[in-house]
Amino acid sequence: MRDETVQERYKRWWQGKYCRLARCQDDKFRYVQTARFYGPPSGVYGTVVLEYLDGTKDYVIPIDLKAFKPRKMDVEIEEGQV
């Protein structure tokens, strides 16, 4: 059995759920159509873009600017969606 890729992990975390960036508490939750990871295959560092059903996009920027890539805590999932 192969290990999950970084791209697959981010999709599993957020794709198909109503989300918003944790640093944007006043924003509405929106349906994430897909999450795309941009970085090396190792996933040591990178960027994630959330693409919403309405066609808009958000770059997931870590709350802790010392982090090399987004983490679960950088995106909020609407209550009852977890």
Mean pLDDT of the chain: 92
Reported as half-sphere exposure (CB side, CA atoms, 13 A), residue 47 has a value of 7
65 domain residue, yes or no:
yes
Nearest Cα residue to 21 out of 80, 77, 82, 69: 77
Q: Percent of the chain having pLDDT more than 70? A: 98
Task: Report yes or no on 30 lying in a domain.
Answer: yes
Q: What was the pLDDT predicted at 43?
A: 87
Domain assignment present for 39:
yes
Residue 58 lies in a domain: yes
Instruction: Find the range with the poorest average confidence among 5-9, 40-44, 46-50.
Output: 40-44
pLDDT of 69 higher than 70: yes
Cα dihedral across residues 59, 45, 79, 15: positive or negative: positive
Query: In 1-82, where do the E strands start and end?
Result: 18-21, 30-38, 47-52, 57-60, 75-77
Look at residue 41 in the predicted model and tell me its pLDDT.
85
Provide the number of structural domains found in the chain.
Answer: 1
Could you tell me the pTM of the whole model?
0.88
Q: Considering the domain boundaries, does residue 82 fall inside one?
A: no
Domain with 54 in it:
6-77
Report if residue 1 sits inside a domain: no
